[in-house]
Amino acid sequence: MAFGVIIIGDEILSGRRVDKHLPKVIELLKARGLSLGWADYIGDEPERITATLRRTFASGDIVFSTGGIGATPDDHTRQCAAAALAVPLELHPEAAVLIRERIREMHPADAPKPVDYNSPDNLHRLNMGTYPRGASIIPNGYNKIPGFSINHHHFVPGFPVMAWPMIEWVLDTRYAHLHHATPHAEKSLLVFELPESTVTPLMEKIERDFPGVRVFSLPSVGDAERGGIYARRHIDLGVKGEPEAVAAAFVKLREGVHLLGGDIVEIDAAAPPKPRG
């Protein structure tokens, strides 16, 4: 099982809004010893949403989907999830209770008439509680309008103030047994004065010699905004995987860079980078 995220909305693809979900989901997973395997961005196009969900349902992955679960004409996610699973949409009884509670709370206390739950507006609001048959609800502490879960897919609103606590609730309620289940470590160093092509054979050797360890290389032409050592052209070179294997592989990586004549600044997540001779 990998963790994935689907971020839905024309406003993200057009640039009208900047996506904040991807970095937050990465943060929430990392805090629990988990990591994101993939991410998809999709506009408000029902055919593409349905095709994507059909593929991800078949994958068995744990997926968070943000956006498109409202009841306006540009909200298609609930319908697409049902189509992808070939099941009907049904009004979820718990969702109906919560939505009616929200309707009652929004009704002015001094209104001349009591709440009419059968008014066209309020009946339309209940559409936000129609989910694919077999779904369960995700509580929404912000305004009570729930999201829903089905087949390890978890659908939340596009609003971060609602979505992020709902994602945390799912992680801590449904997947607590996965938290920190796989020990993971990552160590890296900044390499100066060497092109990426020169360190590639070293990277390949490290992965051959240490099965299960992955080597990564992030070249930069220099980050003037960040300044300091990062303003120089460099490669962020490192290893990640099981902690004991990572520690041994990192020693070999550092030694290999020295032999290639690279200038090194080792990165310590707990302290500012310090030059190493």
CA 63 to chain centre: 8
In tens, the pLDDT along 196-227 reads 999 999 999 999 999 989 999 999 988 888 88
Average pLDDT along the chain: 92
Total domains present in the chain? 2
In tens, the pLDDT along 9-24 reads 999 999 999 999 999 9
Structure tokens at 253: 């990586």
- Does pLDDT of 271 surpass 50? no
Q: Which amino acid is at 100?
A: R
- Does pLDDT of 272 surpass 70? no
Residue 9's SS3 state is coil
CATH for 261? 3.30.70.600
CB count in 10 Å sphere of residue 243? 13
CATH for 112? 3.40.980.10
In tens, the pLDDT along 154-188 reads 999 999 999 999 999 999 999 999 999 988 899 99
Of 162, 178, 194, the residue that ends a domain is 178
User: Strands, E, within the chain: which ranges?
Assistant: 3-8, 36-42, 62-66, 89-91, 130-132, 136-138, 147-150, 153-156, 185-192, 214-220, 234-241, 263-267, 274-275
- Co-location of 20 and 124 in the same domain: yes
Gap between the Cα atoms of 273 and 276, Å rounded: 9
CA 13 to chain centre: 17
- Does pLDDT of 111 surpass 90? no
Q: Give me the pLDDT at residue 270, please.
A: 34
Gap between the Cα atoms of 209 and 220, Å rounded: 27
Q: Which residue has the higher pLDDT, 208 or 273?
A: 208
Of 151, 178, 205, the residue that ends a domain is 178
